[in-house]
Every structure is written in C-alpha cells, then in structure tokens.
Amino acid sequence: MTTIAQRLKQIRSQINDAELACNRQPGSVLLLAVSKTKPAEDIAAAYQAGQRHFGENYLQEALRKQLELGAYDITWHFIGPIQSNKTKPLAMHFDWVHSVDSLKIAERLSAQRPAHLPPLNICLQVNISDEPSKSGITLAELPQLCEQVAKLPNLNLRGVMAIPAPQQDFEQQRQPYKILHQAVVELHRPELDTFSFGMTGDLKAAIVEGSTIVRIGTALFGERNYA
C-alpha cells in the first residue's frame, strides 16, 4: 500500500523535475495539499511527513478540521466558492483565500479581518476557459478588480488562481495558463507574485507556465468520495 508520506515524496519529486525541466529554481513552486473530503488524520499524516500548507473548499468541514488540528502549525488556504454571508469565518480562520471573484467579497474579507492578524493573502479567481458554470472573473475584469482590491487595507493581493477546463493534451493544458500569466505580467504590479495554477492532472503544464502554487488533492490523498 502506498502511504500519504510516500505519495508526498513522489509529488515533491515531480514538482522538482518540472522546475528543472523549464529552468526554474528548485523550490519556487509551493505544494498546497488539497484535503477536502479527507479526514483530519490524513492531514496529520501529511503534516508528519513535512507538509505545512493545506487547502480546503468547504467552510464548515474546514473549520471542524482546524479545531481538531489546533496544535499543528498549518497554513490554511481556502480555495472553494465563497458565499458573501460566510466571509467572516474565512477572514478569521484562514491565511490565504484563492477564490475571490468580486469586489464585494474582497471588501467584506478586509472589513472582517481581525486586527491582530496579518493581512489576508488574496488571489483573484479568473475563469480563463470562459466556462459558464465556473466561478471567477473574466480576463477583461482583471485590471480593474486588481486595482480595487489592492487598495483594501487588511488584504494582501498576491495574484491569480485558475481552474481551466480539463484537457488531456499537454500543449492544450498550457494555453490558458500562458494567457493568464501574460495578462498578469502586463499589469506591471510587482506585488502579484503568485500564480495558483495546476492540479493533479496538469501539474507539469502549470509549472512550465509559471505556477508558484500547485493545488494537489487526488495524487496525494487518493480519489475523493463525496457520498
């Protein structure tokens, strides 16, 4: 049986290979372990193997696990859809939110961020494949939302997150990331240092196109069971 520790080692080595393959500095891509639907024990197992950044999609589930794992020094990332009436617990209990897609959500997160905590790290979610069902802003909306969110006092605007439509072909996987990366470069905002690009199925393409955070669930924790 493959353990979480063994899988973690394999993924770290895949990330390292991809970094070297495109002449990027080893260690420039952060591994975010996506633990949605998985029990706190799985998070603890990855933590024992050195993993510190974990991503969750469902607020109630995440808060439950955070309570259970209170003694662990974990950096928590929220990567799921955000309901505007649920921003307060997000502002209180997370270090990063990757899925901000409106000024209203950003304003609430800033207003609700507790004063004793550092600014909340924010990525704007961009719907790069223009899929009607997916959340996220359009590329055209990115410059203005960046400008507005950058002004909010208790947020630290860091970059963008994308979940492109799944593709099998490597070159096709690269395309949306290439386009979004270029759009961010053209904003000339040096504080935008974060590209939350890549999941289990397209990790290498995402790293080739400048990912700085890959969000990996299945390859680390196994298939998810939503039942």
Restricting to residues 102-161, which ones interact with ligand PLP according to CB under 6 A? none
Q: Which amino acid is at 199?
A: M
d(CA 206, CA 198): 5
Q: Is 218 in the site for ligand PLP (CB under 6 A)?
A: yes
d(CA 94, CA 52): 13
In order of 11, 90, 178, 203, 216, the CA distances from 136 in angstroms are: 27, 18, 17, 20, 20
Output 13 or 218, the one with its CB closest to ligand PLP.
218
Taking residue 222's Cβ as centre, other Cβ atoms within 10 Å add up to 13
Inter-residue contact 100 to 112 (CB < 8 Å): no
Among 113, 174, 204, 215, binds ligand PLP (CB under 6 A): 215
Smallest gap, in angstroms, from Cβ of residue 172 to ligand PLP? 17
Q: Is 200 in the site for ligand PLP (CB under 6 A)?
A: yes
Closest-CA residue to 198 (of 160, 158, 145, 156): 160
Number of residues that bind ligand PLP (CB under 6 A): 13
Output 75 or 200, the one with its CB closest to ligand PLP.
200
Inter-residue contact 187 to 141 (CB < 8 Å): no
Q: Which stretch binds ligand PLP (CB under 6 A): 110-118, 131-139, 143-151, 212-220?
A: 212-220
Closest-CA residue to 163 (of 126, 194, 204): 126
Output 50 or 222, the one with its CB closest to ligand PLP.
222
Output 55 or 145, the one with its CB closest to ligand PLP.
55
Smallest gap, in angstroms, from Cβ of residue 114 to ligand PLP? 25
Inter-residue contact 178 to 137 (CB < 8 Å): no
Among 128, 199, 205, 208, binds ligand PLP (CB under 6 A): 199
CA neighbours closer than 13 Å in the CB half-sphere of residue 183: 23
Among 34, 90, 91, 192, binds ligand PLP (CB under 6 A): 34
Q: Which stretch binds ligand PLP (CB under 6 A): 59-67, 127-135, 167-175, 193-201?
A: 193-201
Q: Is 14 in the site for ligand PLP (CB under 6 A)?
A: no
d(CA 157, CA 146): 8
Q: Is 176 in the site for ligand PLP (CB under 6 A)?
A: no
Inter-residue contact 8 to 197 (CB < 8 Å): no
The residues binding ligand PLP (CB under 6 A) are: 34, 36, 57, 79, 163, 199-201, 215-219
